[in-house]
């Protein structure tokens, strides 16, 4: 087994959150499979939140519903590439994009159901996926599915406090956000630049696994009501 696949396995093992898990896979899987486009699509995420690298746009339509590869993965919970289930050349009837000349998709399974897919694509002029690629994807999806199930079974509980996630300065910023202050007003109150506030919020969103100010306030109300109310 190529060392680079073990690199992906290690990245999966060290992930502490779903976001870290997705990013770890996306940072390592492209090199191993020598693909030009790749992405993870989780069924319970909003479409705009799906994680992808180097594009791989329209993942739900391209990889789940609109072609035989996606149908195979959904029905069998098993990985597939286009040449496994279609005669040579027939893939072009379903997708004529040059950057999706060869596609391979694998299932992410938790609690006995399909919760997402890992999708890979090679551009025109690159070799098709092989049986070895399929075997590697199968092994990778097993690791990914097991880790995701483990993370979802041990979601952060109410024992986690905001102070264990955010620095004292970030807690100050969070309290001012909850009061409805703008970045400029927060910067003026804390004697820091508006850009410093913006960068701090980006870090805070990442730590709290949210994507907007309102989500952050709601999350902080769960773990530290006195700071976010």
pLDDT at 66: 65
Q: Which CATH number fits domain 162-228: 1.10.8.50, 1.10.3470.10, 1.10.10.10, 3.40.50.300?
A: 1.10.10.10
CATH superfamily for 3-153 is GAF domain (3.30.450.40)
Report the length, in residues, of the chain: 229
Q: What is the mean pLDDT of each run of 10 residues along the chain (229 residues)?
A: 75 86 87 90 57 40 63 90 88 85 92 88 93 95 92 62 72 88 90 89 86 83 53
What are the structure tokens assigned to 188, written together? 């003026």
pLDDT at 211: 85
pLDDT at 57: 37
pLDDT at 213: 86
Sheet containing 51-53: give its strands across: 51-53, 37-42, 113-122, 102-110, 80-81
Which has the closest alpha carbon to 130: 226, 63, 221, 35? 35
Q: Domains of the chain: which residue ranges?
A: 3-153, 162-228
């Amino acid at each position: 087994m190529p060392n680079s696949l073990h690199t992906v396995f290690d990245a999966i093992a060290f992930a502490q959150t779903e976001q870290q898990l997705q990013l770890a896979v996306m940072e390592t899987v492209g090199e191993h499979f020598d693909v030009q486009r790749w992405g993870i699509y989780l069924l319970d995420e909003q479409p705009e939140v799906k994680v992808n690298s180097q594009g791989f746009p329209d993942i739900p339509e391209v990889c789940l519903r609109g072609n035989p590869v996606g149908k195979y993965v959904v029905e069998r919970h098993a990985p597939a590439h286009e040449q496994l289930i279609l005669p040579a050349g027939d893939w072009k009837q379903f997708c004529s994009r040059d950057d999706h000349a060869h596609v391979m998709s694998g299932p992410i399974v938790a609690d006995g159901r399909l919760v997402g897919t890992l999708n890979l694509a090679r551009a025109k002029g690159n070799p098709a996926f092989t049986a070895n690629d399929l075997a590697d994807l199968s092994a990778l999806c097993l690791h990914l599915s097991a880790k995701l199930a483990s993370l979802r079974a041990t979601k952060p509980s109410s024992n986690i406090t905001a102070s264990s996630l955010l620095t004292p300065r970030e807690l100050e910023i969070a309290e001012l956000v909850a009061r409805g202050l703008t970045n400029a007003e927060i910067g003026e109150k804390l004697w820091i630049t508006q850009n410093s506030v913006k960068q701090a919020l980006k870090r805070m969103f990442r730590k709290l696994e949210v994507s907007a100010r309102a989500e952050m306030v709601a999350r902080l109300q769960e773990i530290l009501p006195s700071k976010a109310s």
